Amino acid sequence: MFNDSFISAELKKGLELTCPLFNPVLDPVCFLNKEQAELVSGYYQQMTDELKSDYEYKFEVIRSLLKLIIHQGIKIQADYNIISQKDLSDRITPMFMELLERQFPVDSPGNPLKIKTASEFASQLNIHVNHLNYVIKSHTGKTTTQMISNRIVDEAKTLLKNTDWDVAEIGYCLGFDYPAHFNNYFKKHTGITPSIFKYNS
């Protein structure tokens, strides 16, 4: 029930960096003491009661209760688990790698990559692109763009070798709207065109 459409834009506003519900870099688990558990359980009980009611605006009430729970979670997390900047930085690289790998393997020409630039990855991780670039470079010795490019080129090679898709289809599913852009990109990173690689490798 608590999907993205239910959680309104107003609820998300200002919470992206402080709530683990929206920021995957943060620890999503916090433990409640007896008093906190009773408070949160009360909110959930109110939701259950409201859901069973005939009140016309019951989902607005439930949304408000959810907002209370989220804010309570942020307060509890701040009290018992202050995450240092170094801890956050150490978690950014694996989160980035997981987000990158989640898009592969590409299984259909009609299912193109959704995120393929450093800025888009930073947005997904709710951090500034400059900070993402700094952390990735510090941990891997490569820039964020290089990491993304290397993975896209590896996938391109796999698709060129192992599918009967034409070069334009492969380029499109890897995020290139025009075949010429894919040709130039692949040649820049491999020294040869996709067609030569496909039919001569």
pLDDT (tens digit, 9 = 90+) per residue, 49-101? Answer: 999 999 999 999 998 999 899 888 888 776 654 544 555 677 889 889 999 99
First to last CA, the chain: 50
> Which span out of 72-86, 125-139, 152-166 was modeled with the highest average pLDDT?
152-166
Q: In the predicted model, what is the mean pLDDT of the chain?
A: 86
Say whether pLDDT at 117 is over 90: yes
Say whether pLDDT at 137 is over 80: yes
Residues 6+ apart with CB under 8 A from 95: 24, 25, 125
Q: Quick one: pLDDT at residue 110?
A: 86
Q: Quick one: pLDDT at residue 77?
A: 75
3-state secondary structure the chain: CCCCCCCCHHHHCCCCCCCCCCCCCCCCCCCCCHHHHHHHHHHHHHHHHHHHCCCCCHHHHHHHHHHHHHHHHHHHHHHHCCCCHHHHHHHHHHHHHHHHHCCCCCCCCCCCCCCCCHHHHHHHHCCCHHHHHHHHHHHHCCCHHHHHHHHHHHHHHHHHHHCCCCHHHHHHHCCCCCHHHHHHHHHHHHCCCHHHHHHHC
Question: Which of 18-22, 111-115, 159-163 bottoms out in mean pLDDT, i.e. has the lowest?
Answer: 18-22
Dist. CA 146–CA 160, nearest whole Å: 21
pLDDT tens for each residue of 1-47: 677 667 766 666 556 656 766 666 666 777 889 999 999 999 999 99
Q: Quick one: pLDDT at residue 62?
A: 93
